[in-house]
C-alpha cells in the first residue's frame, strides 16, 4: 500500500514517472494508442484524430490560463493563423508539412506575442476583453484578405507528405497527429519543472510577489502568450491538413469558448486535466447525438436542438460540484485505490 511519496534526492524528485506503477500504466496507454487505429473503424479513427488536435490546442490554453493565470478569449484565432499560414506556404511554395507546421506555429506565436502586450498593464476581465478584440480582428482578416485566406470561401490545400507518400486518409494522419501530440505533451510536462515554468506559476499565484522575487514579468507573460499561441498554431495547422480546407467558420469565437471550457472541465493547471477536458468536450456532443438516435425520430427532433443546452448544463455542473475538474476526480479515485481499505 502506497501511503506517501518520500524523495531522498533531487533526481527522484524531478522524475516524470515517480513509480514503477506509473511506468506500467504509461506503457499500457502507449500500446493502446498504437493498437487503436488497427481495431477501430474510420469513424473511430476520425474522432481519435480530432481528439488529438483538440488536446494540443487545450494544452496551449492551459499553459496560458491554467498555469500563468492569463485569460484568453482569442485562442481559436491563433489556431486560424497557424492554419492559414500552413495552407499559404503549402500552396504557394510547395513546402513539406514538417516545415509548414512549425512555421505556422511560429507565426501564430508572433501574433500571440503582439496580443499579449496589453497583459503587461491589465489583467482579469480587461485582459479577456483585449484578447476578445484580437479574435474579432483576426476573424475580420480571415474573411477579407482574399489574396491569402481566400475570403469567406476559405482556401484548400493538398495532403501532408512524407518522402513522397501522401498522408491522405484518417489512418495515415492519425500517426502524424499522435506524434505531434505526444511531443507537445512531453514538452509541456517538462516545462513546468523548469525555471521558466515555475515562473509562470509564480505569476499566476501572485504577480507582484513574483516580480519582487526577481521574475521578469515582461518576459514571462509574453512567453506564456507566445507559447500558448504556438500550440494553437500547430493545432490549427494539423486541422488544415486533416480537413484539407481552411475557412473562417472553423476558427470563430465559439471555438475559443469551446477550448477554454475544456480547460475548466478538465482542470486548470494540470496537463492531465487538459487531456481529459479535450476528450470530454469532443465526445459529449457525439454521445448526445448517438443517444438521440437510439430513441428514434421523436427523440432526435427533441434532443437535437437541446444538445447545446445539455452541453452548457454539464459545464455549469462541473463548475458548481467539481471546480477542479475531471483531473481532481481522477486523483481522488486513484488516492482511494492507493489507501484502500482505509478512508481519506
- Residue-wise pLDDT for 25-35, tens only, equals 889 999 999 99
For the range 100-105, what are the long-range contacts, defined as Cβ-Cβ under 8 Å and sequence gap of 24 or more? 100/237, 101/180, 101/234, 101/237, 101/238, 102/234, 104/233, 104/234, 104/236, 104/237, 105/230, 105/231, 105/233, 105/234, 105/237
Mean pLDDT of the chain: 86
Tell me whether residue 9 is in a domain.
no
Tell me whether residue 27 is in a domain.
no
The domain in which residue 125 lies consists of 38-339
Number of structural domains the chain divides into: 1
- Residue-wise pLDDT for 314-334, tens only, equals 778 888 888 888 988 888 888
Tell me whether residue 103 is in a domain.
yes
Tell me whether residue 1 is in a domain.
no
Task: Report the CATH number that the domain containing residue 226 is assigned in CATH.
Answer: 1.10.3470
Give the Cα separation of 270 and 110 in Å (integer): 25
Tell me whether residue 25 is in a domain.
no
* pLDDT band per the 50, 70, 90 thresholds, residue 1: very low
- Other beta carbons within 10 angstroms of residue 171's beta carbon come to 16
DSSP state of 158: P
Give the Cα separation of 82 and 90 in Å (integer): 12
Give the Cα separation of 172 and 183 in Å (integer): 18
Tell me whether residue 20 is in a domain.
no
Tell me whether residue 24 is in a domain.
no
The string over 134-156, giving b where at least 16 C-beta atoms fall within 10 Å of a residue's C-beta and e elsewhere, is bbeebbebbbeeeeebbeeebbe
Tell me whether residue 272 is in a domain.
yes
- Residue-wise pLDDT for 254-295, tens only, equals 899 999 989 989 988 889 999 999 999 998 888 877 776 666
Amino acid at each position: 500500500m502506497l501511503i506517501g511519496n518520500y524523495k531522498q534526492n533531487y533526481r527522484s524528485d524531478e522524475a516524470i514517472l515517480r513509480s514503477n506503477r506509473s511506468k506500467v500504466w504509461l506503457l499500457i496507454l502507449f500500446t493502446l494508442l498504437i493498437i487503436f487505429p488497427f481495431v477501430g473503424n474510420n469513424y473511430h479513427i476520425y474522432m481519435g484524430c480530432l481528439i488529438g488536435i483538440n488536446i494540443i490546442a487545450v494544452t496551449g490554453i492551459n499553459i496560458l490560463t491554467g498555469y500563468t493565470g492569463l485569460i484568453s478569449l482569442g485562442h481559436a484565432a491563433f489556431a486560424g493563423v497557424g492554419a492559414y499560414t500552413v495552407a499559404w506556404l503549402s500552396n504557394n511554395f510547395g513546402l513539406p508539412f514538417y516545415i509548414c507546421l512549425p512555421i505556422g506555429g511560429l507565426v501564430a506565436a508572433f501574433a500571440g506575442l503582439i496580443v499579449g502586450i496589453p497583459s503587461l498593464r491589465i489583467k482579469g476581465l480587461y485582459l479577456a476583453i483585449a484578447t476578445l478584440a484580437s479574435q474579432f480582428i483576426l476573424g475580420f482578416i480571415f474573411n477579407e484578405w482574399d489574396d491569402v485566406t481566400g475570403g469567406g470561401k476559405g482556401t484548400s490545400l493538398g495532403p501532408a507528405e512524407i518522402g513522397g507518400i501522401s498522408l491522405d486518409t484518417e489512418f495515415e494522419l492519425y500517426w502524424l497527429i499522435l506524434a505531434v501530440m505526444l511531443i507537445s505533451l512531453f514538452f509541456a510536462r517538462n516545462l513546468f519543472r523548469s525555471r521558466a515554468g515555475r515562473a509562470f506559476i509564480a505569476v499566476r499565484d501572485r504577480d507582484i510577489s513574483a516580480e519582487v522575487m526577481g521574475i521578469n514579468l515582461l518576459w514571462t507573460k509574453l512567453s506564456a502568450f507566445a507559447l500558448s499561441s504556438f500550440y494553437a498554431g500547430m493545432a490549427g495547422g494539423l486541422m488544415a491538413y486533416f480537413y484539407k480546407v481552411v475557412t473562417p467558420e472553423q476558427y470563430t469565437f465559439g471555438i475559443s469558448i469551446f477550448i477554454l471550457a475544456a480547460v475548466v472541465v478538465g482542470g486548470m493547471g494540470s496537463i492531465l486535466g487538459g487531456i481529459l477536458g479535450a476528450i470530454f468536450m469532443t465526445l459529449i456532443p457525439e454521445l448526445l447525438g448517438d443517444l438521440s438516435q437510439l430513441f428514434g425520430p421523436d427523440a432526435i427532433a427533441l434532443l437535437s436542438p437541446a444538445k447545446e443546452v445539455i452541453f452548457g448544463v454539464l459545464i455549469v455542473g462541473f463548475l458548481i460540484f467539481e471546480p477542479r475538474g475531471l483531473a481532481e476526480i481522477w486523483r481522488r479515485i486513484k488516492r482511494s485505490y492507493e489507501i484502500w481499505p482505509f478512508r481519506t
